[in-house]
Amino acid sequence: MNKLNAPKGTKDIYSPEIEKWQYFEDRIRKYFTLFNYKEIRTPIFERSELFSRGIGNETEVVQKEMYTFEDKAGRSMTLRPENTASVVRSLIEHNLMNELFPHRFYYIGPMFRYDKPQKGRYRQFHQFGVEVFGDNSPYVDAEVIFSALDFLHTINVTDMKLYINSVGCSDCRPGYLEKLTIEAKKNKEHFCTDCQRKIDTNPLRIFDCKVESCISLADNLPNITDHLCEDCSSHYKEVKNNLQLLGMDFTENKKLVRGLDYYTKTAFEITSSKLGAQNAILGGGRYNNLVKELGGQDLPGIGFSGGIERILLNMDTPPSDNTKKLFIAYQGDDAMAEAFKLSNQLRKKGYIIYQDYSSKKFGKQLQKGIKLGADFTLILAEDEIANNEISIKNMQTREQIKIGREDLDKWLKKNC
Ligand SMILES: [Zn+2]
Ligand SMILES: [Zn+2]
């Protein structure tokens, strides 16, 4: 029979890698609670329309990368390619907007994009992110950016750079797009076919193109930051001031438009170069029109999402958990039953116990204890059973002691 493998672009995550993931997820929960974020979990699939309306029809994501299927009732469904649109949908559906502001959510979970798999890039990949609703203050922008970068620092991601930009609003962007279209049209035949189409449908998306010749052509196109309205430009200035108040270094990147249509005003990206090339590991921005566009109130929003696989590639090994592990070894049938009882009593008290049922040979069990990385082996052999004692072997120093069973609790409290 043919061997069945995981689908291309997906992967199984197991020990020891899974420990890195658990550490990372644990850190997210602890860190973002400091800012009063609450977790939200939305479905993995949604009506396709949510993403085409939310993210934008002309984006790479919607054009090329969505996993869309028809369910048995003929409805078009899509595996979520990102989580912001779903969080907004949920906010509107449950009328969360009528409660206390601002609303703060964080999420962790799998996303799906039909992309070319490469190092750190999967078709089922994972993101964590935050969303803040109902607050238009440039302090919030700076706080969200600060939390993203500071969080990554706390988990030992190094060699990071922060890039920021403003992508304008519905007042200033149309005028800019007109100028952009006129300029882009002058070189239309030199752009790739995708970009040639974008010039007429959504020229801002030209800046997302990864084709070398388009990138250099885009360099000479007008920048949105030079065409901001009064409101956008003062907001952008204040965001930069607030970042400076927090002592943060940043680089302005006038071409940063973040690939999704919903952004307004602030856009930002964090890259890490630990693995050589500068790679974006987290990005986000303000989306003041999205809630309204998806049928809710006129409510501002801001957030970011980080690619967990890519962040883990750039993260140093987490500090090892120093909880002591115990192996229990036995000799003879009576001792096996006794060890079975003891190991489960100790687990009830919170100790990590390994026991091997597969071999009754004492020597083989000890070998297994070493392989499993136990710190101590508790030994129950005929002698110990007869005298109501237990031997304890330190697997590092090889030292072995024998104590009365009644003293075991005391010894464990002191040594584990
Ligand atoms: Zn504006
Ligand atoms: Zn192009």
Q: List, for the chain, all residue ranges whose pLDDT scores fall below the cut of 70.
A: 98-102, 275
- Determine the pLDDT at residue 13: 96
- Determine the pLDDT at residue 261: 82
Answer yes or no: are the C-beta atoms of 209 and 218 closer than 8 Å. yes
**296 CA distance to ligand 2 middle (Å):** 34
CA angle 180, 261, 275 (to 5 degrees): 95
Q: What is the CATH number of domain 17-172+228-314?
A: 3.30.930.10
The pTM (predicted TM-score) of the whole model is 0.89
Q: What are the φ/ψ torsions at residue 280 (nearest 5 degrees)?
A: -70, 125
**45 CA distance to ligand 2 middle (Å):** 30
Answer yes or no: are the C-beta atoms of 171 and 231 closer than 8 Å. yes
- Determine the pLDDT at residue 58: 77
**221 CA distance to ligand 1 middle (Å):** 19
For residue 253, the number of C-alpha atoms closer than 13 Å in the C-beta half-sphere is 17
Domain spans of the chain? 17-172+228-314, 325-415
Structure tokens at 245: 């108040």
Only one residue has tokens 């002591």, namely: 324
Counting ligands in written order, the one closest to the CA of 174 is 1
**91 CA distance to ligand 1 middle (Å):** 25
- C-alpha distances in angstroms, 208 versus 43, 56, 187? 28, 13, 17
Counting ligands in written order, the one closest to the CA of 188 is 2
**267 CA distance to ligand 1 middle (Å):** 13
Could you tell me which of 81, 172, 140, 91 has the C-alpha nearest to residue 285? 140
- C-alpha distances in angstroms, 400 versus 332, 377, 395? 20, 9, 9
Which residues are near ligand 1, the ion (C-beta closer than 5 Å)? 168-169, 171-172, 229, 232
**62 CA distance to ligand 1 middle (Å):** 25
State how far the Cα of 113 lies from the Cα of 125, in Å rounded to an integer.
8
Q: How are strands ordered across the β-sheet holding 400-404?
A: 352-355, 325-330, 376-380, 389-394, 400-404
Could you tell me which of 47, 27, 22, 52 has the C-alpha nearest to residue 106? 27
State how far the Cα of 301 lies from the Cα of 149, in Å rounded to an integer.
19
**192 CA distance to ligand 2 middle (Å):** 4
What are the residue ranges of helices labelled H in 40-192?
Answer: 48-55, 60, 84-93, 138-154, 173-185
State how far the Cα of 367 lies from the Cα of 376, in Å rounded to an integer.
13
Q: What is the CATH number of domain 325-415?
A: 3.40.50.800
Could you tell me which of 265, 246, 249, 66 has the C-alpha nearest to residue 168? 265
Q: Which residues contact 367 (CB under 8 A, 6 or more apart)?
A: none
How remote is the C-alpha of 401 from its chain's centroid? 47
